[in-house]
Copies of this chain bind each other. A is one copy, B any other.
């Protein structure tokens, strides 16, 4: 079924990187025509190997950038993808109401046709009309305002208000093609040179390291505390901030991912208050990755946006600069392919806002289907709407199944010798620690790879299960982990558990000291 299979584990990236380093070495001992500006010998260029570019002459920020969760494509039979947060690729079905509205907005000509009444729910039809009326000329094929269609931003702001209990301003919303472009936009704004630092959690989602590298800044790491369920200690933030300052780094912002990726923890309210206080005291922009806000699997934790927390502390726009990233790719909807999302930007001066607006303008606008979907996830069907019951059943079905899958995988991992896995409170991942025998570590060294990559590669070869080695996210030196999504459909989980268990036993047997 998955003929066209993709493996994006960093073990593959790793292989490629080594290969590419080898080829650079080869290249550097070869005669390469230098860039022509220095040559009047342009007639030489008619020889048959005149690539105007070489890896030595492209932007080295591009070379430095790494992206662990995606890599080269490999085609392998019987693969079980546990590497990417891409739910629908593993069989999760889209929410019907959302897709009905998107289809109707894509082809409004059918809205007046009688057959449409039989095919679509009445509230989807009503919602499509409502959205079309918010678009000037009902033109879903037109560029929108650079921040996104105003009516949709109104809807999103209302959804944020309902979620947080504090006001939200549609003018603070920038609709984007998923959360990634929004993160790039902020990094572009904040980073002037290597002297500018961004505090990032370790482990982190590699979008952050990649974006910081592309924009030429410095990643200032802070470690999450695995022993306390990936806790975020402000003492650690303070320590790393001071260390960076002492090296002359101008730290500009703090990235917090909540719920955590790859770590799956949900921050406690009190901890969030400390983080807000820290940013306020240190004058740091708080970049809050809140794309997993709907993915909470434990009854004792609840999602609180950093905006809600800061407002509840009495801090307003004058006190803290805060960006909240949201995406349609995660949650129970998991609409990765639609590339929808937004950032809510508060606490910036009008001059800076104008600059953010300008950068948004250079890409004209984000895609309208993604914009519509972002408004839908922030304003889903309500009690009394025709779709409410089926919508709720779909949503609850997905979320409760994810919770069961998280628990099953967590239990399975914790039952393995030398594996310790924190609870997946939220998001879509488990990040177990693997205590590898010295003999396995030596075997990895012998093939010139990191021990976690060695483990993951063996796992892939033996079982077809793809996970991402911890090295791609960062980890405390000398510790080893991997990231495993909880996304395979529930009927696949027992096979994953038994294959993984069997593999792990044999691995530990093979390398027992």
Contacts and interface: CB of A to CB of B under 8 A. Distances in A.
A339 interface: yes
A140 interface: yes
A49 interface: yes
A370 interface: yes
A446 interface: no
Contacts of A319: 46, 48, 50
A58 B189 contact: yes
Contacts of A281: 42-43, 45-46
A15 to B, nearest CB: 12
A89 interface: yes
Contacts of A109: 96, 99
Interface residues of A, number: 135
A65 B141 contact: no
Contacts of A145: 4, 6, 73
A16 B62 CA distance: 33
Contacts of A53: 189-190, 252, 285, 321, 348-349, 352
Given A48-B318, A180-B362, A192-B60, A143 B336 contact: yes
A188 interface: yes
Copy number in this complex? 2
Taking each of A36, A146, A334, which has the highest tally of chain B beta carbons within 10 Å of its own beta carbon? A36
Contacts of A366: 177, 339
A147 B52 CA distance: 23
A150 interface: yes
A28 to B, nearest CB: 12
B364 A180 contact: yes
A459 interface: no
Interface in A51-82: 51-55, 57-63, 65-67, 70-71, 73
A71 B354 CA distance: 10
B89 A349 contact: no
Interface of A: 1-6, 16, 20, 23-24, 27, 33, 35-39, 42-43, 45-46, 48-55, 57-63, 65-67, 70-71, 73, 84, 86-92, 94, 96, 99-100, 102-104, 106-107, 109-110, 113, 115-116, 118-119, 136-137, 139-146, 150, 177-178, 180-181, 184, 188-192, 207, 210-211, 214-215, 241, 244-245, 249-252, 280-285, 318-319, 321, 329, 334-339, 347-352, 354-355, 358-359, 361-370
6 contacts: A6-B145, A46-B280, A57-B192, A88-B140, A142-B337, A339-B366
